[in-house]
Amino acid sequence: MVDDPLLLARLQFALTAGTHYLFVAFTLGLAPFLLFGQLSATLRGDAGRMLGVRFWGGLYVVNYGMGVLSGIVMELQLATGWKGLNEVFGYTFGAPLAVETMGAFFLESTFLGLWVFGWDRMGRWTHLSCLAVVTATAYASAFWVLVANGFLRHPSGIRMQDGTAVLTNPAALLAFGHVTVSALLLGGLVTAAVSAYHLSRGHDPHGIYRRGVHSGLAVITAAALPTVALGGSQHVLDQRPPPASGLTYSATEIARIEDAYGATATAAVFGHLGYAVMVLSWLLVVGVAGVGAVVWLLGGLRRWRWFHWTLVFSPVLAFTASIGGWVYRETDRQPWAVTHLLTTADARTEMSAGAAAASALLFTLAFLVLATVTYRLLVRFARRGPYGGPLAPPTEHTEHTDGTQPPEPVL
Protein backbone atom coordinates (compact mmCIF):
# COMPACT_ATOMS: atom_id res chain seq x y z
CA MET A 1 0.00 0.00 0.00
CA VAL A 2 2.85 2.43 0.83
CA ASP A 3 4.12 2.04 -2.76
CA ASP A 4 0.91 3.40 -4.31
CA PRO A 5 0.81 7.26 -4.25
CA LEU A 6 -2.79 7.35 -5.50
CA LEU A 7 -4.04 5.08 -2.73
CA LEU A 8 -2.13 7.08 -0.12
CA ALA A 9 -3.59 10.35 -1.44
CA ARG A 10 -7.12 8.94 -1.31
CA LEU A 11 -6.57 7.54 2.18
CA GLN A 12 -5.21 10.88 3.38
CA PHE A 13 -8.22 12.74 2.00
CA ALA A 14 -10.66 10.26 3.53
CA LEU A 15 -9.13 10.53 7.00
CA THR A 16 -8.82 14.31 7.03
CA ALA A 17 -12.22 15.01 5.45
CA GLY A 18 -13.93 12.51 7.75
CA THR A 19 -12.37 14.04 10.86
CA HIS A 20 -13.16 17.59 9.76
CA TYR A 21 -16.79 16.69 9.14
CA LEU A 22 -17.18 15.57 12.77
CA PHE A 23 -16.55 19.18 13.85
CA VAL A 24 -18.83 20.55 11.11
CA ALA A 25 -21.75 18.25 11.97
CA PHE A 26 -21.56 19.14 15.66
CA THR A 27 -21.49 22.87 14.84
CA LEU A 28 -24.51 22.60 12.54
CA GLY A 29 -26.41 20.44 15.00
CA LEU A 30 -25.87 22.59 18.08
CA ALA A 31 -26.35 26.06 16.55
CA PRO A 32 -30.18 25.87 16.32
CA PHE A 33 -30.41 24.68 19.95
CA LEU A 34 -28.39 27.72 20.99
CA LEU A 35 -30.43 30.13 18.89
CA PHE A 36 -33.85 28.98 20.05
CA GLY A 37 -32.59 28.64 23.63
CA GLN A 38 -31.41 32.24 23.68
CA LEU A 39 -34.59 33.42 21.94
CA SER A 40 -36.68 31.71 24.62
CA ALA A 41 -34.53 33.15 27.42
CA THR A 42 -34.73 36.64 25.93
CA LEU A 43 -38.49 36.56 25.44
CA ARG A 44 -39.11 35.23 28.97
CA GLY A 45 -36.39 37.29 30.68
CA ASP A 46 -35.29 33.97 32.20
CA ALA A 47 -31.79 34.08 33.72
CA GLY A 48 -31.73 30.30 34.27
CA ARG A 49 -32.36 29.64 30.58
CA MET A 50 -29.65 32.16 29.66
CA LEU A 51 -27.25 30.29 31.92
CA GLY A 52 -28.02 27.19 29.84
CA VAL A 53 -27.18 29.12 26.68
CA ARG A 54 -23.79 30.00 28.20
CA PHE A 55 -23.17 26.31 28.94
CA TRP A 56 -24.07 24.98 25.48
CA GLY A 57 -22.39 28.01 23.88
CA GLY A 58 -19.10 27.11 25.59
CA LEU A 59 -19.16 23.67 23.97
CA TYR A 60 -20.02 25.26 20.62
CA VAL A 61 -17.06 27.67 20.81
CA VAL A 62 -14.55 24.91 21.62
CA ASN A 63 -15.79 22.76 18.75
CA TYR A 64 -15.91 25.70 16.34
CA GLY A 65 -12.31 26.70 17.11
CA MET A 66 -11.02 23.22 16.39
CA GLY A 67 -13.22 23.03 13.29
CA VAL A 68 -11.57 26.16 11.93
CA LEU A 69 -8.10 24.68 12.40
CA SER A 70 -9.05 21.43 10.68
CA GLY A 71 -10.77 23.38 7.87
CA ILE A 72 -7.59 25.34 7.16
CA VAL A 73 -5.63 22.09 6.92
CA MET A 74 -8.30 20.69 4.59
CA GLU A 75 -8.00 23.70 2.27
CA LEU A 76 -4.22 23.25 2.24
CA GLN A 77 -4.61 19.60 1.32
CA LEU A 78 -7.00 20.34 -1.56
CA ALA A 79 -4.63 22.98 -2.93
CA THR A 80 -1.46 20.89 -2.73
CA GLY A 81 -2.61 17.29 -3.13
CA TRP A 82 -5.13 17.59 -5.97
CA LYS A 83 -3.48 19.80 -8.55
CA GLY A 84 -5.20 18.18 -11.53
CA LEU A 85 -8.66 18.87 -10.11
CA ASN A 86 -7.83 22.53 -9.47
CA GLU A 87 -6.28 23.04 -12.92
CA VAL A 88 -9.16 21.53 -14.89
CA PHE A 89 -12.21 22.40 -12.81
CA GLY A 90 -10.95 25.05 -10.40
CA TYR A 91 -13.35 27.63 -11.85
CA THR A 92 -16.36 25.49 -10.93
CA PHE A 93 -15.14 23.46 -7.97
CA GLY A 94 -12.98 26.16 -6.39
CA ALA A 95 -15.37 29.11 -6.78
CA PRO A 96 -18.01 27.85 -4.27
CA LEU A 97 -15.24 27.07 -1.78
CA ALA A 98 -13.86 30.61 -2.21
CA VAL A 99 -17.33 32.07 -1.58
CA GLU A 100 -17.67 29.84 1.48
CA THR A 101 -14.33 31.03 2.86
CA MET A 102 -14.58 34.73 2.01
CA GLY A 103 -18.28 35.18 2.70
CA ALA A 104 -19.95 32.73 4.98
CA PHE A 105 -16.91 31.69 7.01
CA PHE A 106 -15.59 35.22 7.67
CA LEU A 107 -19.04 36.47 8.60
CA GLU A 108 -19.59 33.48 10.88
CA SER A 109 -16.25 33.98 12.64
CA THR A 110 -16.78 37.73 13.04
CA PHE A 111 -20.26 37.48 14.53
CA LEU A 112 -19.29 34.52 16.72
CA GLY A 113 -16.54 36.71 18.17
CA LEU A 114 -19.04 39.52 18.79
CA TRP A 115 -21.38 37.01 20.47
CA VAL A 116 -18.64 35.51 22.69
CA PHE A 117 -17.22 38.85 23.84
CA GLY A 118 -20.58 40.62 23.85
CA TRP A 119 -21.99 38.90 26.94
CA ASP A 120 -23.08 41.57 29.45
CA ARG A 121 -21.85 44.28 27.06
CA MET A 122 -24.56 44.30 24.38
CA GLY A 123 -28.29 44.76 24.52
CA ARG A 124 -30.18 41.44 24.72
CA TRP A 125 -31.65 41.67 21.22
CA THR A 126 -28.41 42.83 19.65
CA HIS A 127 -26.61 39.91 21.28
CA LEU A 128 -29.29 37.50 20.03
CA SER A 129 -28.97 38.96 16.52
CA CYS A 130 -25.26 38.10 16.49
CA LEU A 131 -26.10 34.46 17.24
CA ALA A 132 -28.75 34.46 14.50
CA VAL A 133 -26.10 35.55 11.98
CA VAL A 134 -23.73 32.85 13.27
CA THR A 135 -26.41 30.18 12.78
CA ALA A 136 -27.41 31.40 9.31
CA THR A 137 -23.82 31.64 8.07
CA ALA A 138 -22.98 28.19 9.46
CA TYR A 139 -25.66 26.68 7.22
CA ALA A 140 -24.68 28.98 4.33
CA SER A 141 -21.13 27.69 4.68
CA ALA A 142 -22.37 24.09 4.52
CA PHE A 143 -24.43 24.93 1.42
CA TRP A 144 -21.44 26.30 -0.52
CA VAL A 145 -19.28 23.32 0.40
CA LEU A 146 -22.00 20.95 -0.82
CA VAL A 147 -22.35 22.96 -4.05
CA ALA A 148 -18.67 22.17 -4.70
CA ASN A 149 -19.07 18.53 -3.66
CA GLY A 150 -22.28 18.14 -5.66
CA PHE A 151 -20.41 19.22 -8.79
CA LEU A 152 -17.92 16.39 -8.32
CA ARG A 153 -20.69 13.81 -8.02
CA HIS A 154 -23.11 15.16 -10.63
CA PRO A 155 -21.38 17.82 -12.82
CA SER A 156 -23.92 20.46 -13.71
CA GLY A 157 -23.37 23.99 -15.02
CA ILE A 158 -20.10 23.19 -16.73
CA ARG A 159 -21.26 25.07 -19.82
CA MET A 160 -21.77 28.84 -19.50
CA GLN A 161 -25.43 28.63 -20.51
CA ASP A 162 -27.19 28.83 -17.19
CA GLY A 163 -25.63 30.72 -14.29
CA THR A 164 -27.83 28.99 -11.72
CA ALA A 165 -27.18 25.39 -12.80
CA VAL A 166 -24.34 24.89 -10.30
CA LEU A 167 -26.39 26.31 -7.44
CA THR A 168 -29.52 24.30 -8.25
CA ASN A 169 -27.66 21.04 -8.86
CA PRO A 170 -29.89 18.32 -7.33
CA ALA A 171 -26.78 16.52 -6.05
CA ALA A 172 -26.01 19.60 -3.94
CA LEU A 173 -29.56 20.45 -2.81
CA LEU A 174 -30.50 16.90 -1.77
CA ALA A 175 -27.18 16.50 0.05
CA PHE A 176 -27.69 19.84 1.81
CA GLY A 177 -31.12 18.73 3.04
CA HIS A 178 -29.74 15.38 4.19
CA VAL A 179 -26.76 16.97 5.98
CA THR A 180 -29.02 19.57 7.64
CA VAL A 181 -31.47 17.12 9.23
CA SER A 182 -28.77 14.56 10.07
CA ALA A 183 -26.77 17.32 11.82
CA LEU A 184 -29.88 18.24 13.81
CA LEU A 185 -30.17 14.56 14.73
CA LEU A 186 -26.57 14.63 15.98
CA GLY A 187 -27.14 17.88 17.88
CA GLY A 188 -30.21 16.38 19.55
CA LEU A 189 -28.30 13.27 20.60
CA VAL A 190 -25.40 15.29 22.05
CA THR A 191 -27.75 17.63 23.90
CA ALA A 192 -29.73 14.71 25.31
CA ALA A 193 -26.55 12.79 26.22
CA VAL A 194 -24.91 15.63 28.17
CA SER A 195 -28.21 16.43 29.90
CA ALA A 196 -28.76 12.76 30.78
CA TYR A 197 -25.28 12.55 32.31
CA HIS A 198 -26.02 15.42 34.71
CA LEU A 199 -29.56 14.17 35.46
CA SER A 200 -28.10 10.78 36.43
CA ARG A 201 -26.02 12.63 39.04
CA GLY A 202 -29.06 14.52 40.32
CA HIS A 203 -27.50 17.79 39.20
CA ASP A 204 -29.80 20.16 37.34
CA PRO A 205 -29.26 23.85 38.15
CA HIS A 206 -32.18 25.97 36.94
CA GLY A 207 -33.67 23.05 34.95
CA ILE A 208 -31.00 23.30 32.25
CA TYR A 209 -30.65 19.55 31.75
CA ARG A 210 -34.35 18.76 32.07
CA ARG A 211 -35.01 21.11 29.17
CA GLY A 212 -31.97 19.72 27.35
CA VAL A 213 -33.09 16.08 27.46
CA HIS A 214 -36.64 17.04 26.45
CA SER A 215 -35.61 19.20 23.49
CA GLY A 216 -32.92 16.72 22.43
CA LEU A 217 -35.32 13.78 22.32
CA ALA A 218 -37.97 15.85 20.52
CA VAL A 219 -35.49 16.76 17.78
CA ILE A 220 -34.22 13.18 17.49
CA THR A 221 -37.76 11.90 17.00
CA ALA A 222 -38.63 14.60 14.46
CA ALA A 223 -35.42 14.33 12.40
CA ALA A 224 -35.02 10.54 12.19
CA LEU A 225 -37.34 9.85 9.25
CA PRO A 226 -36.48 12.98 7.16
CA THR A 227 -32.81 12.01 7.49
CA VAL A 228 -33.28 8.67 5.76
CA ALA A 229 -35.83 10.06 3.26
CA LEU A 230 -33.49 12.80 2.02
CA GLY A 231 -30.54 10.42 2.02
CA GLY A 232 -32.37 7.79 0.01
CA SER A 233 -33.69 10.32 -2.51
CA GLN A 234 -30.12 10.88 -3.71
CA HIS A 235 -30.06 7.39 -5.20
CA VAL A 236 -32.32 8.68 -8.01
CA LEU A 237 -29.31 10.55 -9.45
CA ASP A 238 -27.30 7.32 -9.60
CA GLN A 239 -29.65 5.96 -12.25
CA ARG A 240 -28.89 8.59 -14.87
CA PRO A 241 -25.65 10.08 -16.23
CA PRO A 242 -24.75 13.66 -15.31
CA PRO A 243 -25.64 16.37 -17.88
CA ALA A 244 -21.95 16.94 -18.74
CA SER A 245 -21.29 13.26 -19.49
CA GLY A 246 -19.53 12.82 -22.84
CA LEU A 247 -17.73 16.18 -22.92
CA THR A 248 -14.35 14.69 -21.90
CA TYR A 249 -14.66 10.96 -22.59
CA SER A 250 -16.91 9.13 -25.03
CA ALA A 251 -19.43 6.60 -23.75
CA THR A 252 -17.10 3.79 -24.86
CA GLU A 253 -14.14 5.28 -22.97
CA ILE A 254 -16.25 5.79 -19.84
CA ALA A 255 -17.36 2.16 -19.92
CA ARG A 256 -13.75 1.01 -20.40
CA ILE A 257 -12.47 3.08 -17.43
CA GLU A 258 -15.24 1.85 -15.14
CA ASP A 259 -14.80 -1.79 -16.21
CA ALA A 260 -11.05 -1.57 -15.52
CA TYR A 261 -11.75 -0.19 -12.05
CA GLY A 262 -14.06 -3.06 -11.16
CA ALA A 263 -16.88 -3.43 -8.66
CA THR A 264 -14.64 -5.32 -6.23
CA ALA A 265 -12.02 -2.59 -5.82
CA THR A 266 -10.93 -1.76 -2.27
CA ALA A 267 -12.74 1.59 -2.32
CA ALA A 268 -15.97 -0.11 -3.44
CA VAL A 269 -15.72 -2.57 -0.53
CA PHE A 270 -15.19 0.32 1.90
CA GLY A 271 -18.18 2.05 0.34
CA HIS A 272 -20.45 -0.92 0.98
CA LEU A 273 -19.19 -1.13 4.57
CA GLY A 274 -19.82 2.60 5.02
CA TYR A 275 -23.37 2.21 3.76
CA ALA A 276 -23.99 -0.70 6.13
CA VAL A 277 -22.59 1.25 9.10
CA MET A 278 -24.73 4.28 8.23
CA VAL A 279 -27.95 2.29 7.97
CA LEU A 280 -27.30 0.21 11.11
CA SER A 281 -26.42 3.30 13.16
CA TRP A 282 -29.57 5.07 11.96
CA LEU A 283 -31.72 2.08 12.93
CA LEU A 284 -30.22 2.11 16.42
CA VAL A 285 -30.90 5.86 16.70
CA VAL A 286 -34.53 5.21 15.76
CA GLY A 287 -34.61 2.57 18.50
CA VAL A 288 -33.25 5.05 21.07
CA ALA A 289 -35.82 7.63 19.97
CA GLY A 290 -38.65 5.09 20.25
CA VAL A 291 -37.61 3.94 23.72
CA GLY A 292 -37.14 7.57 24.75
CA ALA A 293 -40.68 8.42 23.67
CA VAL A 294 -42.06 5.58 25.81
CA VAL A 295 -39.92 6.60 28.80
CA TRP A 296 -41.08 10.20 28.37
CA LEU A 297 -44.75 9.15 28.33
CA LEU A 298 -44.24 7.03 31.47
CA GLY A 299 -42.64 9.98 33.27
CA GLY A 300 -39.22 8.34 33.73
CA LEU A 301 -37.17 10.75 31.67
CA ARG A 302 -35.72 12.54 34.71
CA ARG A 303 -35.42 9.51 37.02
CA TRP A 304 -34.53 6.32 35.16
CA ARG A 305 -30.76 6.06 35.21
CA TRP A 306 -30.55 3.08 32.84
CA PHE A 307 -32.02 5.28 30.12
CA HIS A 308 -29.75 8.19 31.07
CA TRP A 309 -26.70 6.02 30.39
CA THR A 310 -28.23 4.78 27.13
CA LEU A 311 -28.42 8.40 26.02
CA VAL A 312 -24.89 9.21 27.23
CA PHE A 313 -23.36 6.85 24.68
CA SER A 314 -25.87 7.44 21.88
CA PRO A 315 -23.96 10.29 20.08
CA VAL A 316 -21.48 7.63 18.93
CA LEU A 317 -24.26 6.33 16.66
CA ALA A 318 -24.71 9.68 14.94
CA PHE A 319 -20.98 10.17 14.42
CA THR A 320 -20.48 6.68 12.97
CA ALA A 321 -23.50 7.16 10.70
CA SER A 322 -22.03 10.45 9.44
CA ILE A 323 -18.63 8.94 8.68
CA GLY A 324 -20.16 5.84 7.09
CA GLY A 325 -22.39 8.00 4.90
CA TRP A 326 -19.50 10.13 3.64
CA VAL A 327 -17.35 7.08 2.94
CA TYR A 328 -20.20 5.67 0.85
CA ARG A 329 -20.81 8.98 -0.97
CA GLU A 330 -17.17 9.60 -1.83
CA THR A 331 -16.34 6.02 -2.90
CA ASP A 332 -19.58 5.56 -4.84
CA ARG A 333 -18.41 7.71 -7.78
CA GLN A 334 -14.93 6.13 -8.07
CA PRO A 335 -12.83 5.93 -10.21
CA TRP A 336 -14.00 9.45 -10.97
CA ALA A 337 -12.97 12.63 -9.14
CA VAL A 338 -15.55 14.41 -11.34
CA THR A 339 -18.06 11.89 -12.66
CA HIS A 340 -17.39 10.96 -16.33
CA LEU A 341 -15.08 13.99 -16.75
CA LEU A 342 -11.89 13.53 -14.69
CA THR A 343 -10.49 10.38 -13.10
CA THR A 344 -9.15 10.41 -9.55
CA ALA A 345 -5.75 9.32 -10.85
CA ASP A 346 -5.58 12.39 -13.12
CA ALA A 347 -6.87 14.72 -10.38
CA ARG A 348 -4.11 14.13 -7.85
CA THR A 349 -0.75 15.90 -7.72
CA GLU A 350 2.13 13.88 -9.09
CA MET A 351 4.50 12.89 -6.30
CA SER A 352 6.72 9.97 -5.33
CA ALA A 353 5.52 7.18 -3.08
CA GLY A 354 7.77 8.44 -0.29
CA ALA A 355 6.43 11.99 -0.50
CA ALA A 356 2.84 10.70 -0.56
CA ALA A 357 3.49 8.50 2.49
CA ALA A 358 5.10 11.39 4.41
CA SER A 359 2.22 13.72 3.52
CA ALA A 360 -0.41 11.15 4.59
CA LEU A 361 1.44 10.50 7.87
CA LEU A 362 1.81 14.20 8.78
CA PHE A 363 -1.78 15.12 7.91
CA THR A 364 -3.11 12.10 9.80
CA LEU A 365 -1.07 12.93 12.89
CA ALA A 366 -2.22 16.57 12.77
CA PHE A 367 -5.87 15.57 12.60
CA LEU A 368 -5.44 12.91 15.27
CA VAL A 369 -4.06 15.55 17.66
CA LEU A 370 -6.86 17.99 16.82
CA ALA A 371 -9.58 15.37 17.31
CA THR A 372 -8.08 14.16 20.61
CA VAL A 373 -7.69 17.66 22.05
CA THR A 374 -11.22 18.62 21.01
CA TYR A 375 -12.75 15.47 22.50
CA ARG A 376 -10.96 15.95 25.83
CA LEU A 377 -11.94 19.64 26.06
CA LEU A 378 -15.58 18.97 25.16
CA VAL A 379 -15.86 16.15 27.72
CA ARG A 380 -14.16 18.25 30.40
CA PHE A 381 -16.39 21.29 29.93
CA ALA A 382 -19.53 19.18 29.50
CA ARG A 383 -18.87 17.46 32.86
CA ARG A 384 -18.13 20.74 34.66
CA GLY A 385 -21.56 22.18 33.95
CA PRO A 386 -22.64 25.80 33.43
CA TYR A 387 -20.22 27.27 35.98
CA GLY A 388 -17.06 25.65 34.63
CA GLY A 389 -17.16 26.25 30.87
CA PRO A 390 -15.49 28.83 28.62
CA LEU A 391 -18.55 31.14 28.76
CA ALA A 392 -19.27 30.66 32.47
CA PRO A 393 -20.72 33.71 34.23
CA PRO A 394 -18.49 35.97 36.38
CA THR A 395 -16.74 34.48 39.41
CA GLU A 396 -19.32 35.64 41.93
CA HIS A 397 -21.68 33.02 40.45
CA THR A 398 -19.17 30.15 40.68
CA GLU A 399 -20.64 27.02 42.23
CA HIS A 400 -19.89 26.65 45.93
CA THR A 401 -17.43 23.97 47.01
CA ASP A 402 -19.83 22.68 49.68
CA GLY A 403 -22.33 21.72 46.99
CA THR A 404 -24.82 24.55 47.58
CA GLN A 405 -26.12 26.46 44.59
CA PRO A 406 -24.76 29.91 43.75
CA PRO A 407 -27.01 32.96 43.73
CA GLU A 408 -29.55 33.33 40.94
CA PRO A 409 -27.76 34.81 37.91
CA VAL A 410 -28.87 38.19 36.71
CA LEU A 411 -30.09 38.54 33.14
Structural domain spans, the chain: 5-239+265-384
Structural contact between residues 149 and 172, judged by C-beta atoms closer than 8 angstroms: yes
What pLDDT shows up at residue 411? 46
What pLDDT shows up at residue 53? 95
What pLDDT shows up at residue 410? 43
Q: At 343, is the secondary structure helix, strand, or coil?
A: strand
Tens of pLDDT, residue by residue over 50-85, are 999 999 999 999 999 888 888 888 888 888 888 888
Question: In this structure, how many other beta carbons lie within 10 angstroms of the beta carbon of residue 3?
Answer: 10
Structural contact between residues 381 and 29, judged by C-beta atoms closer than 8 angstroms: no
Amino acid present at 273? L
Q: Would you call 164 exposed, middle or buried from its count of C-beta atoms within 10 A (0-12, 13-18, 19+)?
A: exposed
161, 64, 75, 153: which is closest to 115 by C-alpha? 64
DSSP at 90: I
Q: At 337, is the secondary structure helix, strand, or coil?
A: strand
How do the pLDDT tens digits run along the chain, 411 residues long?
A: 556 788 888 888 888 888 888 889 999 999 999 999 999 999 999 998 999 999 999 999 999 988 888 888 888 888 888 888 888 888 788 888 888 887 777 888 999 999 999 988 899 999 999 999 999 999 999 999 999 999 898 887 666 555 677 788 888 899 999 999 999 999 999 999 999 999 999 888 888 999 999 999 999 999 999 999 998 888 777 777 888 788 888 999 999 998 888 766 777 888 889 999 999 999 999 999 999 999 999 988 888 899 999 999 999 999 999 999 988 888 888 899 999 999 998 998 888 888 888 888 888 888 888 889 988 999 999 999 888 888 888 765 455 444 445 545 444
What pLDDT shows up at residue 282? 93
φ, ψ of residue 408 in degrees (nearest 5): -60, 125
Structural contact between residues 178 and 230, judged by C-beta atoms closer than 8 angstroms: yes
Amino acid present at 321? A
Distance of CA 203 to the CA centre of its chain: 29
What pLDDT shows up at residue 401? 45
Helix H segments across 156-207? Answer: 170-200
Q: At 204, is the secondary structure helix, strand, or coil?
A: coil
Distance CA 360, CA 354 (A): 10
